[in-house]
Structure 1
Amino acid sequence: MLSLIAAVDRRNALGKDNRLLWHLPADLQRFRRLTTGHKIIMGRKTFESLPGILSHRHHLVLTRNRGYPVDDDRVTVLHSLEELWEQLDPQSENFVIGGGEIYRLLLPYADKIYLTVVEGEFEADTFFPKLDDGEWEVESKVAHPADGKNPLPYTFIDLSRRR
């Protein structure tokens, strides 16, 4: 199973200058809870933006750079969709974690999407692809107000592809 997981604003903004646009501990906890123990798929820029290797997850990094150097058993560098399909675990959920180009590339193959929609509009240079409402069904939608730890209101939305 292939799932996309992302946090966006109302305009589908993801980030700017290879950084997230906000800090929401609740979203980070959800990301950790959902992706721990699974393979996570990302582009090179997203990989380089991480604070380090994310524990208890195998990183699959898509890049056009055939000589991209990574020396860590928890990371596999891939250069094509064919190589990616060979690495996915068919018995488990595999998570696409960004960035914008990788989301666009893999959206047609996705079975589920886990979105965090942050209330507001932010200056951005990277966006999540627009979804066709006819292709996706909302499984759950839970709104959360801003609080002492999370400075912005946000909504968790889980979507599944209509069959």
Structure 2
Amino acid sequence: MKLELIAAVGRNLELGRDNDLIFDIPGDLKFFARTTRGHTIVMGRHTFDSLPHKLPGRHHVVISRTMTSDDPDIEIFDSLEAFLEAYGPKDELVYGIGGASLYAQMLPYAGALVLTEVDADADADVYFPAFDANAWKATELGRQEENGLAYRHVRYERP
């Protein structure tokens, strides 16, 4: 498996508040959809619960000790370790989409980070884990401004 983490973050790695996104950027949501469509996405239960619906064109994996589902497009593992054991040998690109605790647990296994870096501070209660950007090879994928927010998409790859 090739694991990449994808997230939109503020200047201080802010992710969200009250189990919701903190930035209203429709263009970034489209970027997220284009990037993850056709791939497996892995998330914690709170992130899954925050989705308005299952995201089309993606296989959903949820890490949860309590969640159950009969939906064949939702696979549940009771731990990150169980997920890594099952998906590690697969030749597949998987995107980690949150939340904060799962990002922190997955960061050591990620080969790349696809971050939307929003040039703004936000009142957040969850944050993306701190990482040394200098230890990664950064490639800017583009810059935009929308709803008064300047942002850029950056791909960080382990050297």
- TM-score (norm. length: structure 1): 0.90
SS of residue paired to 2:113: strand
Q: Which runs of 5 or more structure 1 residues have no equivalent in the other structure?
A: none
Q: Distance in 1 between matches of 2:99 and 2:56?
A: 19
Give, as a single letter, the amino acid of the residue that structure 2 aligns with 1:62: I
**Contact between 1:39 and 1:88, CA under 8 Å: does it hold in 2?**
no
Q: Distance in 2 between matches of 1:111 and 1:55?
A: 25
How much has 1:23 moved relative to structure 2?
1.6
Structure 2 residue aligned with 1:116: 116
Equivalent residue runs for 1:2-151 within 5 Å: 2-65=3-66, 68-85=67-84, 86-87=86-87, 90-146=90-146, 150-151=147-148
**Contact between 1:88 and 1:94, CA under 8 Å: does it hold in 2?**
no
Q: Distance in 1 between matches of 2:104 and 2:81?
A: 16
**Aligned sequence identity (%):** 39
Count of residues in Structure 1 that have an aligned counterpart in Structure 2: 157
SS of residue paired to 1:106: helix
Against the structure 1 CA distance between its residues 2 and 133, is the aligned structure 2 distance closer, same or farther, given a 3 Å change threshold? same
- TM-score (norm. length: structure 2): 0.92
**Contact between 2:140 and 2:152, CA under 8 Å: does it hold in 1?**
no
SS of residue paired to 1:98: coil
Q: Deviations over 1:8-66 (max 9, x none)?
A: 0001000000000022111111111110110000000000000011111011100132x
Q: Deviations over 1:74-98 (max 9, x none)?
A: 1011112332120367322100000
Q: Distance in 2 between matches of 1:156 and 1:83?
A: 31
Against the structure 1 CA distance between its residues 89 and 29, is the aligned structure 2 distance closer, same or farther, given a 3 Å change threshold? farther
Give, as a single letter, the amino acid of the residue that structure 2 aligns with 1:136: W
